[in-house]
Amino acid sequence: MDGISKPMLDCLDWTEWGMKNFGAIITSRTLPLAVMRKCIAAGLCRENGMGPVCDADGFIQETRRERMGYVLTDKGRQVLEEARRAIA
């Protein structure tokens, strides 16, 4: 887990949450694009294609504008699991 910062671990955690609830997650104030780009460069996340923006209930908020979605890679899942084991 060397080279993985706290914001990157938070990014992995938020991305996993988004994948479980919506299939992917978009960047926002909670999940900055700059941190997501670091995770992509490290091979922890990848782009999943364009999709509509929705709220926490899954209802589409912005029907006219799509944004890039992101998901974890296998390496990202492994790093997240290792971090959780280290905390427990």
Residues in the chain: 88
Average per-residue pLDDT in the chain? 86
What is the pLDDT, as a whole number, of residue 77? 96
- Identify whether 34 is part of a domain: yes
The pTM (predicted TM-score) of the whole model is 0.84
- Identify whether 60 is part of a domain: no
- Identify whether 29 is part of a domain: yes
DSSP code of 40? Answer: H
Which of 11, 65, 17, 60 shows the shortest CA–CA distance to 33?
11
Structural domain range at position 9? 1-51
Q: How far apart are CA 44 and CA 65, in angstroms?
A: 26
- Identify whether 19 is part of a domain: yes
CB contact set of 16 (below 8 Å; sequence gap of 6+): 72, 77, 80
Domain count of the fold of the chain: 1
List, for residues 9-46, the tens digit of each pLDDT value: 999 999 999 899 888 888 888 889 999 999 999 999 99
E-strand stretches of 12-83? 45-54, 60-72
- Identify whether 18 is part of a domain: yes
- Token reading at 30: 């909670």
